A = this chain, B = another copy of it.
Amino acid sequence: MRYFVIVGHKAVTTGDFKLDDISGGAGRLDILVRCVNSAFFLSHDVRRDTQLYLVLQGGRDAPKTVRFSGTDVRYLNPDERSTSSLIRNALLKKIPEGDETKSSPGVYVSKMSFGDVVSLLSKKGNIVYLKEDGTDIRECAVPQDPVFIISDNTDLTAEEEELLHSYSGNTVSLGPHSLHADHCIILVHNEMDRSLS
């Protein structure tokens, strides 16, 4: 399995935003929405071996985590608007205490924080922090069942980085330029696809 965790530092946690305003009023939710596209779409196919965790830290109901599961996801289309709608539906769901609830097939929402998600996934796979000053992905062995951690348009906070380092020292980079989160996912998938082919 390939896991991706994207931290949306200002992304809204309530479902009262407008689909026309995901880049503004929804706290740059557009960044996370594009990550959904990158994580799951092949040409005429969906990556079933991928799980994506969107950690939303903005708004009055933070934190929340929306999980997209390639195994069972349905009604997923590549455009931003329809994916934003799936996320909005998830954020409108009532979440049982300490649990995760399904909002549509393959889309789940919980009150998990970044720390909760990293703790959970550290038991399922191996944490890999994607950052510009890491080892080039072409020069290191990516571990089995990698859990790639990516920040949105701002860096992880010092506390978030410290938390990651308490689990793993794997820090990986993808090339000479600093890139958008969704673009990073494309490069990671390609590298993993090549290593398996």
A interface, CB within 8 angstroms of B: 19-20, 22-23, 30-31, 34, 37-38, 41-45, 77-82, 153, 174-180, 183, 186-187, 190, 193-194, 196-197
Determine if B197 and A176 form an interchain contact, defined as CB atoms under 8 angstroms apart.
Answer: yes
Determine if A183 and B80 form an interchain contact, defined as CB atoms under 8 angstroms apart.
Answer: no
Determine if B183 and A38 form an interchain contact, defined as CB atoms under 8 angstroms apart.
Answer: yes
Known: A20-B20, A23-B82, A41-B183. A176 touches B153 (CB 8 A): no
- A179 contact from B23, B43, B153, Cβ within 8 A: B43
Contacting residues, chain B, for A179 (C-beta < 8 A): 42-43
Determine if A43 and B78 form an interchain contact, defined as CB atoms under 8 angstroms apart.
Answer: no
The 3 closest A-B pairs by CB, nearest first: A176-B197, A43-B178, A186-B186
